[in-house]
Each structure stands twice: as C-alpha cells, then as structure tokens.
Amino acid sequence: MKVLRLPREIHEARDSLRKTSDVVGLVPTMGYLHEGHVSLLEAARQRCDTVVMSLFVNPAQFRPGEDLDGYPRDEKRDFAIAEEAGVDIVYAPSAEEVYPAGFATTVEVKGLTEVLCGSRDGRRPEHFAGVTTIVAKLLNAVDPDFAFFGQKDAQQATVIGRMAEDLDFRTRIVILPTVRERDGLAMSSRNAYLSAPAREKASAIWSALLETENAYPERGLDEALRAGVRRLEAAGIEPEYFEARYPGTLDPAEDETGEAILVAVAAKVDGTRLIDNILIEPDKQVRRK
C-alpha cells in the first residue's frame, strides 16, 4: 500500500493507472476508521482494480466552536485497517497542501443545502460548501471511475451526487447502506466521544426512526413523525430536526403519495451531534383504511 501526501503524487499515480486501463475506486474518509468505512473499502475492492482511500480531516466543513481540534485521529491505526481491507493507495495530504495560501475557490450546491443540516436557519452554514469543495478537489485529483459514500450521511450523499452531475464529473457516485452497531446506532467516528450511558441513550435514535416507519402505514406521516419524536424525548433526547423529505430532491414529503420517503434526524447526545435516517419504501406504505 502506498501513502501519498502531495497532489502531484496522486496525479502521477493516476496517470500511471490510465496506461493500464485500471478501474479506480475512491473512498473519501476523515479517518478514525470503523466498520462503516471498511464496508465501503470492501465494496470498492470488489468493483475496482485499484482502490484509493483519502484520509483528510477537512477544516472547511467545521464551524467555529465545533470539534475540529478534538476530532478523533489515529493515522497509524487507519493505515493498518486500510491495508487489511485491500487499499492500494492512501492519499493523506496536509491542510496546507489542500488549501494553500491564496486559496479562494468554493463549490456550492444550491437548494439541497438549505435544509436539514444546512443553512436554512443557520445550523451549519459553512458545512456543505466545505464538503463539496473538498470532494470536488478529490474527484479532480483522483479522477476515479467510482466514489463510495454511506447512506448515514444521506443529505451529503444527495448533495455530492448533484454536484458530480452538474459539474460533469465522470465519476459514478455509489451510495451504500448504513452500517450499524448491534443496538442499531449508526457507526460514526464521533461515537468515540460517547460515554457508556450516552452510548446507551443514543440507541434511541434508531428506535425512533423505526417507530416512525412502523407507525406510518396506519397512522399517517404527521403522526408517525410525532411518534418518533416522542420516542426520542422519552430517552431524554431533544432532536435538532426530525423531518420527512423526498430522497433526491430533499423537498418536504407529503402523506399518501406512494413515493419513497427519507426520514432524517439530527440530535445531540450529551454534547455529541449525531445524525441518522431511514428510507421508507413504497412497499412499506400500505395505507390505513
């Protein structure tokens, strides 16, 4: 496994791969790898001749006062996990290489970024511009045939898909299912922040999403959402949002349309912000009589 630190090094590696006609897959990460990341790496390994993993904690997607400095990091451990998963190249640049002096360009996706975790009410106004800018840079540097992301970050996946289409990237964006702990908590690097009691408390997030899915066919969307919120509140969690949206557009979902519905949630558990979602498919929407 090669570890590359400089943009010119990844460019040279990609130029070499073009000569061999390799199918290249990219798995972008911010490190502190868990089984969710490993599932993406394994999917890339199955589909691609060469697997590139990026490892970069992106300062541009953190707001002032968020956990940039405290974000969990363990590069040596990440390299070992990546190598075991069959990664061929790790691209791990420094912030100075990604954002050199004078850097002045931002990539923004309108419409999809003003809701949920976006800037509609000032929740995280810089976040998605930071995400799309770094992903655009990675897609440009690696020029992968496929790039792999997880469904846990459903809004992020939607935004990146739109950006890749709008900017004519040749990369196909692949979204894979959320990997969960045994109690349903979505795997996340930030789970490392949770104490044992908070960790147990956080499992209510997935329970609340399941409550909504189960309640929807008989009770309708509004009441199903209220049932999910009640489950969270019973566990002592006040959601930042708990909303139903249409996947792809992120427009507000309406009752009894027969379309897939994305129910997304964000909540802080003892100071740690967690997100999750569930996709309610049409075949699970048998209407009440």
Q: Which residues belong to the active site?
A: 37
In terms of residues, how long is the chain? Answer: 289
Q: Regarding beta strands 24-29 and 146-150, do their DSSP bridges make them parallel or antiparallel, or are they unpaired? A: parallel
- List 31's β-bridge partners, or say none: none
Q: Which two tokens stand for residue 188?
A: 């996340």
Query: CA 285: distance to chain centroid?
Result: 26
Number of H-type helices and E-type strands within the chain: 9, 9
Burial of 229-266, coded b for 16+ CB within 10 Å and e otherwise, reads bebbeebebebbebbbbebeebeebeeeeeebbbbbbb
Identify the CA nearest to 73 among candidates 92, 97, 86, 88: 92
Instruction: Name the strand (E) or helix (H) holding 186.
Output: none
Burial of 6-23, coded b for 16+ CB within 10 Å and e otherwise, reads ebebbeebbeebeeeeee
Cα gap 209→132, rounded to integer Å: 27
Strands (E), the chain: 2-4, 24-29, 50-55, 89-91, 146-150, 172-176, 239-245, 261-269, 272-280
Lookup result for tokens 């190598």: 83
DSSP at 193: G
Distance of CA 139 to CAs 1, 44, 224, 238, Å?
20, 15, 39, 37
